[in-house]
Amino acid sequence: MKSPAATEALTQGEYLAHVGFVLTGVVNTLLGPILPIIAPAWHLDDAQAGRLFAVQFCGAILGTLASGRVMNAIGIRRCAMLGLLLMSAGVSAIGISNSQFGALAVICFGLGLGFAVPAINLWVALANPQRSAAALNLVNASWCIGAASGAPAIIFLADKFGLVKTLAAIGIPLALTALAGFVAAGLSPALRPAALTPPPKFAHAAKTVAPLTQSAHPLAVAAIPQSPPLDPLAQRPFIVLMCAFLFFYVGIETGVGGWAATYATRLHLLAPSRIGLAQSIFYGALLLGRVLAPLALHRMSALRLLLCGLLVGAAGAALFTFAPLPPEVLAGICIAGIGLAPIFPVTVSLYSDELGAAATNSAAVLFAIADVGGAVFPWLIGRVSTSMNDLRYGMAVPLACIAAMLIIMTRLSRTMRPQ
């Protein structure tokens, strides 16, 4: 168990984790609102614009894989603050970059996301050993606030003051927060994950919170009742199917959220100064759905909630892809967000519940593959759009992904213990 001194050290400046995660939510979803601005300036078609999402997630994957060693080397909080500094540098550089160097700026803030997200989650969890799930709920709510509010603010400020000043207005708070965090961390020893053995309660809390990776933004859901872990012979097919399931899901969430603003521009859904609302509608719906998910779990099993979520998400995806009128398209984005909201956290809870202590053995592979989906499908949406010369065809990719998830789910339920 952590010593009181270790806990006290981690709680120093803990408010900076919340400030940092609001800013991280803004950066995590930054490409969506700025694509309509930088794509014409950099002379990018949809396929080339889609590659920027892949670049961001490749940076995040590298950062996530390296974050464990960085945390052990310099401490959890310093790793988080280093991530914020990298985000500050990358975001600020986009405003003064061109198509040749823009990808380097994107991979820089992607790397920062890979450092900051797991470090902040671990920091908050270990600082609150008696209420880790509740504390993680709050800090991930901060992420959702940044993700939902960032797009309209960026579009509005860029229209009034230009993109360079707008991105500087994001980069400067990131840098100041990082510097404040380094100062706070300098007042106490560098606490490392290897030196912190969380109490048994934290092991159970892992079943209710999002993983410590780039995709660790959903709010936690209600804990699924614990039972004996899955038979070892059934674990491998279960893990393979889980990897495939989350691969498609993270691709859908990133694809819809990332392309929503550009889609709104192409279909003239909103005034140019308000196109960021399309992305905010999606992430706001995700936030609402994740708040309501624990209530739904009191009335239905986790698998039934997954099925309902996928069906509602499919209905929303079909609506925003094929609906002819702007209000219907925006309604489809909202419906898709509400339906998809519980998928990620419920899936993580099921994964942990089915494997028990063995869940940690393959967690890194699971979430790395999920992040690969976040790199592949936004790019694929752009590739299809360019090939068909119509972004509507590209936005049909999430619907195809949901269909694949429904097929995977029928196989997944057969590998699991009865609910």
How would DSSP label each residue in 249-316? HHHHHHHHHHHHHHHHHHTT-S-GGGTHHHHHHHHHHHHHHHHHHHHHHTTS-HHHHHHHHHHHHHHH
131 three-class SS: coil
The residue to which tokens 């909103």 are assigned: 270
Tell me how far apart the alpha carbons of residues 133 and 140 are, in angstroms, rounded to a whole number: 10
Residue type, 418: P
φ and ψ at residue 43, rounded to 5 degrees: 60, 50
Is the distance from CB of 98 to CB of 13 less than 8 angstroms?
Answer: no
Q: How confident is the model at residue 193 (pLDDT cuts 50, 70, 90)?
A: low
What pLDDT is stored for residue 185 in this prediction? 76
Residue 54: C-alpha distances to residues 31, 122, 198, 310 (Å)? 11, 26, 35, 24
Task: Quote the pTM value.
Answer: 0.73
| Chain centre to alpha carbon of residue 71 | 21
CA atoms within 13 A of residue 194's CA, in its CB half-sphere = 9
Q: Does domain 4-412 have CATH number 1.20.1250.20?
A: yes
Nearby residues of 186 by Cβ (< 8 Å), 6 or more positions away: none
CB atoms within 10 A of CB 165: 12
Q: Which of 33-42, 141-150, 194-203 has the highest mean pLDDT?
A: 33-42
pLDDT tens per residue across span 364-417 = 678 778 888 988 999 999 999 999 999 999 999 999 999 999 999 998 888 776
What pLDDT is stored for residue 201 in this prediction? 36
What pLDDT is stored for residue 255 in this prediction? 93
What pLDDT is stored for residue 342 in this prediction? 86
Tell me how far apart the alpha carbons of residues 127 and 164 are, in angstroms, rounded to a whole number: 37
**All structural domains of the chain with their residue ranges:** 4-412
pLDDT of 419 above 90: no
pLDDT of 72 above 70: yes
Query: What mean pLDDT value characterizes the chain?
Result: 81
Residue type, 292: L
